[in-house]
Amino acid sequence: MRTISMREAINEALHQEMERDKKVFVLGEDVGKMGGDFGITKGLWNRFGAERVRDTPLSEAAILGVANGAAFAGFRPVAEIMFADFITECFDQLVNYSAKAHYMFAGQLKAPLVVRTATGAGFRAAYHHSQNIESWFLNVPGMTIVAPATPYDAKGLLISAIRDDNPVIYLEHKLLYDLKGEVPEESYEIPIGSAEVKRKGNHVTLVSSMRMVHLSLKVAQKLSQQGIEVEVIDMRTLMPIDRETLFASVAKTGRLITVFESARTGGYGSEISAILGEELFEFLQAPMKRVAAYDVPVPFAPSLEDYILPDEKKIEEAVRETV
């Protein structure tokens, strides 16, 4: 199978879905001729024209307002918010309109829109361009959150997201854009709400997403040489949560560590821990642990940015303490 980057996998998914369905269109800042700030929409403007690849003003609220209206009218917009930090500018549109439309109108109205956005730290982009927003929408009923860690998952999950009738936040970690992996040329879907066991083990379960999956796998490989077998789960879809995969793993290992890049307090790891504590307490052989970013803004200084983020050393220490 051919090998391509995550950037190319996302771009290919957009091309194939726009070819398949004329109701799919892309909008956002500089997504047209420029091809997007990260090059994700490259070639779409030349292939589909300005009608279906629309450059917008510098207004996230306007982008989502148009996307909502188009989705309610039967189109399938894919809106790009250049940096996830500025999704706050359209929070009202997403929370009070996109997520609630189907419920408010008793199923007569759908909101089949996708919001693609670049998230995550390690890019040396300081406070307003480095936040990981994976937990911001957890408390919003009706919102789907997708967070791929590999090029294969990125393509399949985006295709599924575009075809889904619910609003989807599609998170792309900046440091994974150049990651390469095997991706089929043909179109394919990965079911939303399906986690994947990336590595099997029987001593402790590590649950993670996006870039943290790769750090977790490195730690698991290292500890395996010392007799500690770590099971690594990539959530892939943060909401809805694949409880079945989580329950099966933790019932087997009896230990849980969550590894997520967002701030520790109120983070995704806290929700996973709460679910497992409620449902599988009798299986636990040790206290659950959370490895997450410190509760501070992402610093500008590279040394400080690295200090506040989860890394392999912190993950390994958590595993050793747990087992």
**Side-chain-side CA neighbours of residue 271 (13 Å):** 20
Q: What is the pLDDT of residue 1?
A: 84
Q: What is the pLDDT of residue 228?
A: 97
Beta strands in 16-92 (DSSP E): 24-28, 53-55, 76-83
State whether the Cα torsion 74-241-231-133 is positive or negative: positive
Alpha-carbon distance 100 to 236, whole Å?
Answer: 24
102 included as an active-site residue = no
* DSSP secondary structure letter of residue 282: G
Q: What is the pLDDT of residue 245?
A: 98
Q: Is the pTM of this model over 0.75?
A: yes
Cis previous bond, 191, omega within 30? no
Q: What is the pLDDT of residue 123?
A: 85
User: What are the 10-residue block averages of pLDDT along the chain, 323 residues in total?
Assistant: 96 98 98 95 97 96 97 97 96 96 94 97 89 94 97 98 98 97 98 98 98 98 97 98 98 98 95 96 96 95 95 98 95
- Estimate the crossing angle of helix 151-163 against helix 6-20, to 10 degrees: 30
Mind giving me the DSSP string for 109-173? -----EEEEEE-SSSS--TTS----TTTTTT-TT-EEE---SHHHHHHHHHHHHH-SS-EEEEEE
Q: What is the pLDDT of residue 127?
A: 87
Q: Which helix (H) or strand (E) holds 259?
A: strand 256-263
Instruction: Pick the catalytic residue from 15, 128, 129, 203.
Output: 129
Q: What is the pLDDT of residue 125?
A: 87
